Amino acid sequence: MLLGTWNLENLYRPGGPFGPKDKAAYEAKLAALAAVITELDPTLLGLQEVGEPEALGDLIDLLGSGWSIATSRHPDSRGIRVGFIGRTSFEVLSDTTALPARLRPVQADDEGVSVSATGRGFLAVEAATAIGPLRVAVAHLKSKLLSYPNGRFQPLDEGERARFGAYALYRRAAEATALRALADELLDGDGRTRDVAVLGDLNDEVQAATTQILLGPPGSEIGTPGYKMADKGDAARLWNVAPLIPAEQRFSRVNAGRRELIDHILASHRLIHRVTAAGTGLPGEEAPRLSSVGPDPAKRRDAAGSDHAPVWVRIG
């Protein structure tokens, strides 16, 4: 079976402020997305940037029959949300924006506005699969691509750039903490006996502090001597599959010409030892074919496909 995650990049129907400007560009985008999903043939695929559930319905129509669909009821201010599609049945376990009870609201702008919930909902499902029940949460954490007051993508000065970078980091760290809390619920005390995955666009790389929050107890990382040795931390740990991805494929976006792996799959102890392969892009590709993005996402409004590559694992 194949488990994956993919940011679809502003999946909206045409005519609105964020989606393609016309029908032709929209149809080209859908066709490009459908071609990738068809080749991936995922058992379960977590999605980000579903702008309109109706647009996701249009995409599923191109894929054909037999797909299960779920989307979060908690979009952000632009209307984008996470979701799942799959070739297997699944039930929704959680759709939440809650921060952990002891985590205080965080500052979000120069005016002192604070946020006490995640910007986009986290969606968790339990799927019936060939290996048994699989619990998976999908998330889309606060972006590293900064925006400023009045719709600006460039700061007035370097002080503003630094402050808004800090605000974004505060929010991403709080959201990562909330996602870890959801992972704890899914693990339910013992990842040694449960197949659990957390996946999505985490908007930072493997060694970033926000990404590391999700791992749980330290130690036993892939590639270390402790990886094959059981210990008490295995009950709560999640393992990032990134080290299992071939080095030449270890990126999911190109930002200002730099390759970044910001889309991740993390697996419980039982599940990580069932992974037989991992990659980005399409299986069999040497490396994903991606255009570089810049600070203004509006410049890709009519681009076909997505500015992210899917990240996937095969599980046996």
Domain count, the chain: 1
Q: Which CATH number characterizes residue 167's domain?
A: 3.60.10.10
* CA distances (Å), origin 195, targets 126, 132, 183, 300: 10, 8, 11, 37
Token pair in block for residue 110: 């120069």
Quote the pLDDT of residue 144.
86
Contact 55, 11 (CB under 8 A): yes
Q: Give the count of beta carbons closer than 10 Å to the beta carbon of residue 112.
A: 7
pLDDT, one tens digit per residue, over 193-218 is 999 999 999 999 999 999 999 999 99
Question: pLDDT-based confidence at 298, cuts 50/70/90?
Answer: confident
Give me the helices (H) in the chain, please. 23-40, 53-63, 158-187, 209-213, 269-272
| Structural domain containing residue 251 | 2-315
Burial zone of 35 (CB within 10 Å; 0-12 exposed, 13-18 middle, 19+ buried): middle
Burial zone of 128 (CB within 10 Å; 0-12 exposed, 13-18 middle, 19+ buried): middle
Whether the pLDDT of residue 295 is over 90: the answer is: no
pLDDT, one tens digit per residue, over 166-201 is 999 999 999 999 999 999 999 999 999 999 999 999
Tell me the whole-structure pTM to 2 decimals: 0.96
